[in-house]
Chain A
Amino acid sequence: GAVVSQHPSWVICKSGTSVKIECRSLDFQATTMFWYRQFPKQSLMLMATSNEGSKATYEQGVEKDKFLINHASLTLSTLTVTSAHPEDSSFYICSARSGLGNIQYFGAGTRLSVL
């Protein structure tokens, strides 16, 4: 099956610093990648959709200058949380979809704790 690798799995940072999360599709080319945020015991909230080589499309209410998304290749997308604050602490999950189907394959998630 398709594998999506997300790194790091857990990161702790100081308030005001930036954190980069990587999402890689290991055995397929992901024309589209998605970034979600999940609060404890809640569902997934789509933050943005990124297509390789183009600017990400952000959902309403998501600050694009705070959550920078880059999808530079067909196998890699990154989410950078800039000037992180404690309220940014959350579980971030990426998913990837190939151009051949409509199934999203998910990474294992990144737990971000901002002190």
Chain B
Amino acid sequence: AQSVTQLGSHVSVSEGALVLLRCNYSSSVPPYLFWYVQYPNQGLQLLLKYTSAATLVKGINGFEAEFKKSETSFHLTKPSAHMSDAAEYFCAVSRGNEKLTFGTGTRLTIIP
């Protein structure tokens, strides 16, 4: 069975500050890992994915995430927060072409 844990249901950062959203996974086989963003009343948009290639993955909107097997983590970062980054972020894991298992989400608030 696979699972993801997102530490911190709500994160607030100042505009221009570093964004760090935490995700730890549990998987019995090498996982595929994803970060999605959801804006209010909208579906999910893929930010980035890890599929066993490079461990540092760059995504859209300046986000990146690093796969650390020793720590079973896949934290999402962005060097400088922008007001438009305010949204809900979901980490997800899958095993190949199997279904996605989502974390409980982290709501990111940007303080002007």
Q: Residues of A with Cβ closer than 8 Å to B?
A: 4, 6, 32, 34, 41-44, 46, 49, 91, 93, 95, 97, 102-109, 111
Contacts and interface: CB of A to CB of B under 8 A. Distances in A.
B32 A46 contact: no
A106 B100 contact: no
A4 B34 CA distance: 18
B97 A109 contact: no
B62 interface: no
A6 B43 contact: yes
Interface residues on B, range: 20 to 34
Given A43-B90, A43-B102, A44-B102, A102 B97 contact: yes
A103 to B, nearest CB: 6
B42 interface: yes
Interface string B1-15: 000000000000000
Contacts of A95: 43-44
Nearest to A97: B97
Interface in B29-71: 32, 34, 36, 41-46, 49, 51
B90 A106 contact: no
Given A43-B90, A102-B51, A108 B99 contact: no
Given A46-B99, A109-B41, 7 more contacts: A43-B102, A95-B43, A102-B51, A102-B94, A103-B34, A106-B44, A109-B42
A21 to B, nearest CB: 12
